Amino acid sequence: MISFNPISARCRLVLVTVAMLLGCFDPVITSPFASSTMLEVGAAGGLPGFQESELALYLARHMTDAGLTEWRYEPAFGEGLPANYVQWRFRLKPYNGGEVYSHHPFHPSRETFGELYSVTLEARLYLNGEYQTLVEGQALMDGPHDPRLALAVTEITKNLLGPSGAYRHINAERHRADPRQ
């Protein structure tokens, strides 16, 4: 007859749990990002309703939603451009004679705008300190938590870095000038 020893069962459970935890935190063995390139994400200018410090985090989070496993995204903080970087720029589009689409201020208590803002989004890719390419897109937004803005960031990321994105179509032989000016 086989007897059940609760102490050895607990010890085995603890050992298995520890082994699993160690395996999960070993970046060489189990990390899905082991062969991915880390891109720092920053923004030139801002968007209505966003504080400067939260915009880079917002962008990095929604770039991750694109599901491109060969890239990782971290918010960039500090001076200067990192070697591997995506710089976002935003322009509020003029509406009817140069006015901004919304005439109402942002209301933090409601987390919404009186009307929609039409925004042009631009993402520029820099690798190893050299400009590579850019992608533009449009979005309507009514505040910092608007799902249309998040979707636009995700789609522009796919158009920039995805399998059929702009980065894949760069002619490696041709050096492009940086159009920041």
pLDDT in tens, the chain (181 residues): 445 455 555 545 444 444 444 444 333 333 444 578 999 999 987 888 888 779 999 999 999 999 999 999 999 987 777 899 999 999 987 653 334 444 444 444 333 345 788 999 999 999 999 999 999 999 999 888 899 999 999 999 999 999 989 998 874 334 445 555 4
Query: What is the pLDDT, as a whole number, of residue 102?
Result: 43
Query: What is the pLDDT, as a whole number, of residue 80?
Result: 75
Query: What is the pLDDT, as a whole number, of residue 94?
Result: 63
pTM (2 decimals)? 0.67
Task: Give the number of other Cβ atoms within 10 Å of residue 90's Cβ.
Answer: 20
Q: b vs e for 58-88, b when ≥16 Cβ sit within 10 Å of the residue's Cβ?
A: bbbebbbebebeebbbebbeeeebbebbbbb
Q: How far apart are CA 33 and CA 27, in angstroms?
A: 8
Query: What is the pLDDT, as a whole number, of residue 60?
Result: 97
105: closest CA among 51, 79, 133, 143? 143
Query: What is the pLDDT, as a whole number, of residue 67?
Result: 96
* Three-class DSSP category at 119: strand
Which strand ranges, in their side-by-side order, compose the sheet holding 37-44?
71-75, 37-44, 85-92, 117-127, 130-141
Query: What is the pLDDT, as a whole number, of residue 74?
Result: 96
Q: Are 66 and 80 in contact (CB under 8 A)?
A: no
Torsion region of 78: left, alpha or beta (phi above 0 gives left; psi -120 to 50 gives alpha): left
Query: What is the pLDDT, as a whole number, of residue 34?
Result: 53
